[in-house]
Amino acid sequence: MEQAKKGHMVKVHYTGRLGDGTEFDTSVSRGPLQFKIGDGNIIPGFEQAVIGMEPGETKTATIPADQAYGPHYENLVLKLAQDQIPSNLEPEIGQQLEIRQESGEVIGVRVTHVSPSSVTLDANHPLAGEDLIFDIQLVEID
């Protein structure tokens, strides 16, 4: 039977969990994820886990943070005074916002803390710094 390798278009079902067992994503309810191995559209550790699998095979792979969404960088966390927040905005924890830098670049951030005096924004990926555990089933190789 053929094994998945770089250049193959594959379809996989997966369930992603954190080390404490918290499930953060699954394809089971929406259909398999399709991607071309080696295109760089999927986190590197996930691609590596699929390489060598055969259709119908399942496996559990632990992907270290550096092969997933990278480390959590403290310099991407910004604490702002409430008076620096637009008056028409009522920030809530988990809320996704966009901020425009002086250069004009727009950066996605999420609200991680709100107090009467300040709001903390984090531009890291929500899974940055986390080792990820994936249950993977290779459905098909195209």
CA distance 128 to 41: 17
CA distance 28 to 21: 17
Mean pLDDT of the 70-94 span: 93
Number of domains in the chain: 2
Q: In the prediction, which pLDDT does 102 show?
A: 87
Q: In the prediction, which pLDDT does 122 show?
A: 97
- Distance from CA of residue 104 to its chain's centroid? 25
Residues 65, 133, single domain; the answer is yes
Query: In the chain, pLDDT over 90 holds for what percent of residues?
Result: 90
Query: Does some domain include residue 3?
Result: no
CATH of the domain at 104: 2.40.10.330
Domain around 109: 74-122
CATH of the domain at 46: 3.10.50.40
Q: Count Cβ neighbours within 10 Å for each residue of 80-116 and write b for 16 or more, e otherwise.
A: eeeeebeeeeebeeeeeeeeeeeeeeeeebbbbebee
